[in-house]
Amino acid sequence: MIDPHSGSAPAAARLVGDIGGTNARFAVLDDDDTPVRPATLPVDDFPSLAQAVRTYAADHEIGPLGAAAFAVANPVTGDRIKLTNNHWALSIEETRVELGLEVLHVVNDFTALALSLPHLPSTELAVVGGGDVVPARTIAVIGPGTGLGVSGLVPCRDGWKALQGEGGHVTVGVTTDRERAVRDRLATRFRHVSAERFLSGPGLVNTVEALREIDGLSAGELSPADITRLGTSGEDHHCRETLEIFCRLLGSCAGNLALTLGAEGGVYIGGGIVPRLGTFFETSGFRAAFEAKGRMQDYLARVPTFVIRAPYPALTGVAQLLR
């Protein structure tokens, strides 16, 4: 609509989105590149990303759209994307044309999360353990949710460069007899027991079922939310043990990532699971496992670790692509 006083069309809106296995989160950017008017839409309610975008824009009376940037829980290696954990498939270029956009960026969700890190306020971060950030050094991010996301942020001459990879699918490293027993049980079900088979919502279910079977019990039917609730409260022994294994293995994987990237800028824990663990995580074996790397223990003791508590950090990350 043209403003009769200005005689010119309003500026086109800039849209950002974070597409997960269950939900799609959208917002528009204000003049300061801050995501505003956020909304969450269930992926299963829409046949495509474009239709979800149209619904969000119509519901919030937003338009026209000029540019968009989306984070997706999936590798982005070309124009065509089939999302791993939901039914959406898309062509980036066809979606851009369908939505009438001048610009459309699509990146992996943990690339977007990495891009957000320099822009998150300290009030949206919880410190776990010791160590201090070394400025202008590599930053690592890892986070269990529907899957296990991994990325890093490397300092460059003109800012930061986010890494794109699939580090959640590295082979898991177990250290206790109980962890080995679970891993061996999972090896009968999966061709490859990756870190994601433990460190994700489905991974919590994998672990508690394996523990119960090892102890001669039926697998049961518990959701990730059930396991978190029963484990943090101590109401169920196997759920609590599952969370203890989860925290130790996450610490070990995060320590491996810190060593690989030289992440003296800190290691950040994202995803939807860890923030829900609250004080359980802070007092768990996470930090001890993070530092338990033999000759490199003193090095890792100086690397700080943080839990990201921002409500929509990936939206802040993809906003950087539209600056």
- Report residue 134 as tokens: 């070394």
DSSP-derived secondary structure letter, 36: E
Categorize the per-residue pLDDT at 108 as very low, low, confident or very high, splitting at 50, 70 and 90.
Answer: confident
- Mean pLDDT confidence for 282-289: 96
The CA distance from 269 to 253, in Å, is 11
Please report the pLDDT score of residue 86 as a whole number: 82
Contact 112, 74 (CB under 8 A): no
- Mean pLDDT confidence for 150-157: 92
Please report the pLDDT score of residue 84 as a whole number: 75
The CA distance from 260 to 243, in Å, is 25
pLDDT digits (tens, 9 = 90+) for 58-73: 999 997 999 999 999 8
Helix 201-214 vs helix 224-233: angle between axes, to the nearest 10 degrees? Answer: 70
Contact 110, 151 (CB under 8 A): yes
Categorize the per-residue pLDDT at 74 as very low, low, confident or very high, splitting at 50, 70 and 90.
Answer: confident
Contact 242, 207 (CB under 8 A): yes
The CA distance from 49 to 64, in Å, is 17
Kindly list the strands in the beta sheet with 103-108, ordered across the sheet, starting from the edge strand earlier in the chain.
Answer: 35-42, 23-29, 13-19, 65-72, 103-108
Please report the pLDDT score of residue 320 as a whole number: 93
**Mean predicted lDDT score pLDDT of the chain:** 92
- Mean pLDDT confidence for 253-263: 97
pLDDT digits (tens, 9 = 90+) for 198-231: 999 999 999 999 999 999 999 889 999 999 999 9
- Mean pLDDT confidence for 8-32: 87
Please report the pLDDT score of residue 14 as a whole number: 97
Please report the pLDDT score of residue 10 as a whole number: 59
Contact 273, 145 (CB under 8 A): yes
DSSP-derived secondary structure letter, 168: G
Q: Is the pLDDT of residue 8 over 80?
A: no
Please report the pLDDT score of residue 63 as a whole number: 79
Could you count the other beta carbons within 10 Å of the beta carbon of residue 114?
30
The CA distance from 82 to 93, in Å, is 14
The CA distance from 257 to 265, in Å, is 12
Helix (H) or strand (E) holding 42: strand 35-42
Q: Is the pLDDT of residue 34 over 70?
A: yes
Please report the pLDDT score of residue 276 as a whole number: 93
% of the chain surpassing 90 pLDDT: 81
Categorize the per-residue pLDDT at 2 as very low, low, confident or very high, splitting at 50, 70 and 90.
Answer: very low
Please report the pLDDT score of residue 227 as a whole number: 97
Does the pTM surpass 0.75? The reply is: yes
% of the chain surpassing 70 pLDDT: 97
Closest among 216, 166, 207 to 184, alpha carbons compared: 207
- Mean pLDDT confidence for 145-168: 88
Contact 65, 13 (CB under 8 A): yes
Q: Is the pLDDT of residue 234 over 70?
A: yes
Radius of gyration (Cα) for the chain, nearest Å? 21
Please report the pLDDT score of residue 6 as a whole number: 44
Give whole-number Cα distances, 20 to 25, 93, 135, in Å.
8, 20, 31
- Mean pLDDT confidence for 272-299: 96
pLDDT digits (tens, 9 = 90+) for 180-194: 999 999 999 999 999
Q: Is the pLDDT of residue 148 over 50?
A: yes
